[in-house]
């Protein structure tokens, strides 16, 4: 971690008693010197992030004592020798990620039984993965994502069976490859210490055999309740991506059935991403037990019922609560005020109703609020006045009414959609209201004014006649009030009723005041 340049000096190969060479994060450039193969006692070779190119010199494979071999984050290329695992019998950490290596992963890697950490992500490895990992009893991280692994053969996921013997496995990342087929039942037998499992962006299909799957595949069936046994699981992603604005929307899976209540047992969960599936039923209240949960996304499903108030007790929810495009009913519970760290709240396109609770203003970190396409009503809440962090608000296609408050001009809004509501009166012209591309009031037919680009009708210069009380009527009301006051002052209500009984008009009262009794 300096600024050394000029290539790795070959003379280092003359220091034959060296056990550790750690040169990472220097912009050396050039190639790996062949002379490093002379360091027969070497246990650690760390040349990560050195802007190196070329291939690995064959002499390096003579370093049989190597425990750590890291050439990550360079521009190296070439393939791995078939006998790789035989060359490095003591290897514990093998890192080659973020280079341009290609070819197949040697079957002989199985012989490196002391391996704990294998990271060869973001290269161009391809073909069938036939390594038997069963002998690697200490393997904790296997990260092979973003290559082109996969052969299309019916048994190409068979290597998963051997991983069931790796009792210390914590991270298994196979995403971004070309794996095809159904997951073997052995996935249910993966280590109980497993924290992260990434299978996304492959060509996997079928149901999940009481195990785990992930986004952007074509999984079907229900989410198995046995997942509640993965007590160390930190992330659960079975969903697609949700873009509130325009953009690509990658599909999720095709899970159906109910959300298992056993997910509430996974106390280490940081995120639950179940969006863009076919899940039905209600949100289990047991999810309220997840005290570390920061992201809960269940958009674009067939979920129904009310939103359980227990969800609003998860004070750790800070990134996103996205329940859009379902069939939820009822109102937003006042307990939403507990989510003080929440940044994005999306319940758009449901069947929710009622007014926006003032407690939403207690969510002091809110940046985005999406309430579109529901049955909400009432005025725009006054708490927006102090919500200085709000950037995007969508209240469109509801039953909101009243005037649009001028205090919205002072907010640092980037997007405001008020369309298809029953707002009336003069539209403000400053702040967000001065940007026609950032605001929408389409379908608010009782609004007037605003900037020219919005093409709203002009507001009348004076109050309309329907809003005025004519001068004559004012006189009539004033005189009648004075008369009634006089009658009451003399304590004779009967006189007033007598006059009414005679059906005297207000005009008659003005022209001929009644005689006092």
The token pair at 126 is 């391809």
| 280 contacts: CB under 8 Å, gap ≥ 6 | 256, 257, 258, 301, 302, 303, 304
pLDDT at 470: 41
pLDDT at 484: 47
pTM exceeding 0.85:
no
Give the start-end residues of each E strand in 128-259. Answer: 141-143, 148-149, 171-173, 180-182, 196-198, 203-207, 218-222, 235-237, 254-258
The answer to whether residues 162 and 184 touch, using CB atoms and an 8 Å cutoff, is no
Q: Which of 230, 163, 164, 161 is nearest to 192 (CA)?
A: 230
In order of 183, 187, 258, the CA distances from 199 in angstroms are 10, 12, 22
pLDDT at 185: 75
The answer to whether residues 463 and 486 touch, using CB atoms and an 8 Å cutoff, is no
The token pair at 26 is 């220097």
Q: Which of 24, 36, 29 is nearest to 5 (CA)?
A: 29
| Conformation bin of residue 206: beta by default, left when phi > 0, alpha when psi is -120 to 50 | left
Q: Which of 299, 300, 236 is nearest to 264 (CA)?
A: 236
pLDDT at 201: 80
Q: Could you give the CA distance from residue 213 to residue 454 in angstroms, rounded to a whole number?
A: 48
pLDDT at 210: 41
Q: Could you give the CA distance from residue 187 to residue 232 in angstroms, rounded to a whole number?
A: 16
| 477 contacts: CB under 8 Å, gap ≥ 6 | none
Q: Could you give the CA distance from residue 453 to residue 439 in angstroms, rounded to a whole number?
A: 11
pLDDT at 220: 60
Q: Could you give the CA distance from residue 150 to residue 127 in angstroms, rounded to a whole number?
A: 5
Q: Could you give the CA distance from residue 339 to residue 96 in angstroms, rounded to a whole number?
A: 42
> In whole angstroms, what separates CA 179 from the centre of its chain?
26
3-class state of residue 73 by DSSP: coil
pLDDT at 251: 39
3-class state of residue 323 by DSSP: coil
pLDDT at 413: 93
Burial class from Cβ neighbours inside 10 Å (0-12, 13-18, 19+) for residue 448 reads middle
Question: What is the chain's pLDDT, residue by residue, as a tens digit (517 residues)?
Answer: 999 999 999 999 999 999 999 999 999 999 999 999 999 999 999 999 999 999 999 999 999 999 999 999 999 999 999 999 999 999 999 999 999 999 999 999 999 999 999 999 999 999 999 999 999 999 999 999 999 999 888 888 889 899 989 999 989 999 889 998 877 777 777 877 887 888 878 887 765 554 343 444 555 677 777 777 777 777 777 765 443 332 223 335 677 899 999 999 988 888 888 888 889 999 999 999 999 999 999 999 999 999 999 999 999 999 999 999 999 999 999 999 999 999 999 999 999 999 999 999 999 999 999 999 999 999 999 988 888 889 999 999 999 999 999 999 999 999 999 999 999 999 999 999 999 999 999 999 999 999 999 999 999 875 444 344 444 444 444 445 444 444 444 444 343 333 334 334 333 433 334 443 3
Element (H, E) at 394: strand 392-394
In order of 176, 291, 490, the CA distances from 236 in angstroms are 17, 15, 81
């Amino acid at each position: 971690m300096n600024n050394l340049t000029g290539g790795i000096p070959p003379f280092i190969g003359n220091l034959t008693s060296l056990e550790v060479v750690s040169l990472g994060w220097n912009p050396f450039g050039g190639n790996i010197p062949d002379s490093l193969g002379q360091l027969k006692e070497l246990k650690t070779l760390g040349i990560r992030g050195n802007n190196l190119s070329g291939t690995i010199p064959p002499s390096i494979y003579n370093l049989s004592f190597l425990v750590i071999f890291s050439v990550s984050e360079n521009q190296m290329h070439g393939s791995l020798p078939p006998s790789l695992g035989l060359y490095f019998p003591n290897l514990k950490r093998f890192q080659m990620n973020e280079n341009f290596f290609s070819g197949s992963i040697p079957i002989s890697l199985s012989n490196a039984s002391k391996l704990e950490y294998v990271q060869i992500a973001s290269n161009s490895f391809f073909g069938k993965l036939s390594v038997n990992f069963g002998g690697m009893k200490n393997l904790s991280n296997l990260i092979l994502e973003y290559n082109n692994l996969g052969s299309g053969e019916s048994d190409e996921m068979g290597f998963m069976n051997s991983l069931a013997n790796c009792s210390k496995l914590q991270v298994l990342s196979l995403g971004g490859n070309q794996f095809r087929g159904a997951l073997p039942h052995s996935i249910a037998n993966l280590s109980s210490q497993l924290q992260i499992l990434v299978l996304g962006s492959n060509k996997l299909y079928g149901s999940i055999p009481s195990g785990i799957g992930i986004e952007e595949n074509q999984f079907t069936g229900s989410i198995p309740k046995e997942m509640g046994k993965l007590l160390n699981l930190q992330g659960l992603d079975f969903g697609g991506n949700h873009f509130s604005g325009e953009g690509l929307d990658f599909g999720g899976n095709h899970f159906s059935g109910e959300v298992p209540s056993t997910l509430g047992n996974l106390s280490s969960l940081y995120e639950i991403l179940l969006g863009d599936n076919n899940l039905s039923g209600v949100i289990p209240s047991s999810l309220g037990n997840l005290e570390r949960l920061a992201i809960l996304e269940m958009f674009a499903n067939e979920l129904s019922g009310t939103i359980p108030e227990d969800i609003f007790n998860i004070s750790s929810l800070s990134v996103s609560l996205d329940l859009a495009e379902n069939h939820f009913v009822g109102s937003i519970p006042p307990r939403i005020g507990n989510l003080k760290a929440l940044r994005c709240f999306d319940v758009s396109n449901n069947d929710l109703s009622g007014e926006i609770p003032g407690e939403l203003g207690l969510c002091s970190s809110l940046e985005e609020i999406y309430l579109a396409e529901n049955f909400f009503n009432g005025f725009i809440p006054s708490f927006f006045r102090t919500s200085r962090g709000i950037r995007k608000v969508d209240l469109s296609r509801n039953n909101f009414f009243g005037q649009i408050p001028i205090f919205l001009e002072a907010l640092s809004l980037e997007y405001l959609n008020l369309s298809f509501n029953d707002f009336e009166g003069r539209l403000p012209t400053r702040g967000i209201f001065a940007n026609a591309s950032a605001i929408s009031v389409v379908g608010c037919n009782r609004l007037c004014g605003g900037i020219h680009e919005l093409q709203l009708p002009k507001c009348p210069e004076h109050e309309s006649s329907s809003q005025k009380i004519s001068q004559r009527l004012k006189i009539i009301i004033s005189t009648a009030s004075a008369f009634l006051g006089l009658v009451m002052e003399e304590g004779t209500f009967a006189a007033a009723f007598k006059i009414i009984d005679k059906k005297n008009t207000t005009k008659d009262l003005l022209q001929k005041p009644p005689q006092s009794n």
